[in-house]
Structures are given as C-alpha cells and as structure tokens.
Structure 1
Amino acid sequence: MQNLPALVTLLTVLLQFATMWAVGHARSKYQIKAPAISGHPAFERAYRVQMNTLESTVMFLPALWLAVHYGYVLWGGIAGLVWIVGRTWYAWAYLGDANKRGPGYAVGMLGWAALVVMSALGLGRAMLAG
C-alpha cells in the first residue's frame, strides 16, 4: 500500500495525457486550427474537459501528497483513487453531453475534499506536536 499514492499520481498523469489526446483528436477531426479554442461543440467540450481536469489536478496533487506526508498513506491513496474514478467519469460524461458531468464531478470532489481534511488534520497534529 505504500506505493498506492505513487500509482494514483501515475494514473493522474495518464488522465492528463488522455484529455490532451482528446483535444488533439477533436482539433483534427473538426478542423479547428490552432490557436482557436472554439468552433465545434464537440471540440469545445473536449477542450473544457482538458482545462477543467488540469485545474482540478493543480489542487488534487498537493492535497494527495500532503495527506500522505502526514501519515495518511492508505487513506490518501484510496481518496486519490476516488478522485481518479470521479474525474474519469466526469470526462467521459462531459465529452458526450455536458449536462451529464455532475455525478462524476461530485465523486471527484469527494475524493479531493477527503484529502484536504486529511492534510489539515495531519498538519494540525504536526504543528501541535512540534
């Protein structure tokens, strides 16, 4: 279980790659020339999935590693997997129909929120002890 957070981090990198690939594929398929970021609804959904996932990752990875650093290796890894599942669900749903992205978003936020709580508890405990 010590390696679970590292596996979650690798899965996050792969998720980022998948969203990047989806944008490139949609750009080619719908002939959206760079640097344009609009033009076809399917391309725009792919682009938003990539950007939203990137924005979420910026908050997720520090929370994951703070939780792990302060002793929540197993639970942090599990919460990280919840985030991965939620973000993947979110991406698939959003690519098909933007109105169906909500449940995946909620699951991802649940995983992230758990990591923030673990990080805060661990940091608070460390500050009180030291």
Structure 2
Amino acid sequence: MTGDPLLERSIRVHENTLEWLPIFLPSLWLFAVYWPEWVAAAVGVVWIVGRIVYALGYVADPAKREAGFLIQAVAAGVLLFGALGKAAYVLATAGA
C-alpha cells in the first residue's frame, strides 16, 4: 500500500501494535496469575504508555520511535520473564 507518508506510518504503527499483542497479552495474564494483579496492571499501563510514545514518535518521524519501543519492550520483558521466573520457582518448590 502506498500513499500519504503520514497514513503509511500510522498503518505501520497499528500493524506493529498487533504484532506485539501475542507477546503482551499472554505475558500480562500469566504475570497476573503469579504476581499481584495491581503490579501486572501497572506494568500493563507502562506498556500502553510505551505504545503511545512509540506511535507519536513514529508518526512524526520514524527515527523518533526508539524511546517508545524501549519502554514497551522492557515492560513486555518484565511481564514475560517475571511470569516465567515465578512459574519456574513455583514448580521447583512445589515438590519440596
């Protein structure tokens, strides 16, 4: 699809958000299972803020997307590795 550069960047932001949802949503759910829900919600809000910063930066100038990307990537990493780490801990201590 080609057209107005602003439209193309807006569509790419939307597509990129959809690409991240399969990482974010299961990680958020699993994190909320093993950690307090308010902590999961707080990290989820950080992810959303990161996506907003990413979208605003990318639509303005693709070179300005790094800050938003880092915010949302770190938040997704905290959710994913926090859930996996706690699940591994629970499984390791369940047999003790």
Identity percentage over the alignment? 36
Q: 1:66 to 1:114 in 2, by over 3 A?
A: same
Structure scoring higher RCO (CA < 8 A, sep ≥ 6) equals: 2
* Aligned equivalents of 1:67, 1:99: Cα separation in 2: 32
1:90 aligns with 2:54: yes
Aligned equivalent of 1:7: none
1:42 aligns with 2:6: yes
Post-superposition CA distance 1:75-127 (Å, at most 9, x none): 22221111011001101111111111110110111111110121112211232
Residue segments in structure 1 that go unaligned for 5+ positions in a row: 1-36
Aligned equivalent of 2:64: 100
Please give the TM-score of this superposition, normalised by the length of structure 1: 0.67
How many pairs were matched up? 94
Please, what is the CA RMSD of the aligned residues?
A: 1.3
* Aligned equivalents of 1:56, 1:72: Cα separation in 2: 23
Aligned equivalent of 2:73: 109
* Aligned equivalents of 1:85, 1:91: Cα separation in 2: 10
* Aligned equivalents of 1:66, 1:59: Cα separation in 2: 11
Please give the TM-score of this superposition, normalised by the length of structure 2: 0.88
* Aligned equivalents of 2:78, 2:30: Cα separation in 1: 12
Higher helix share: 2
1:81 aligns with 2:45: yes
Residue segments in structure 2 that go unaligned for 5+ positions in a row: none
Q: Secondary structure at the match of 2:2?
A: coil
1:1-130 superposed matches below 5 A: 37-128=1-92, 129=94
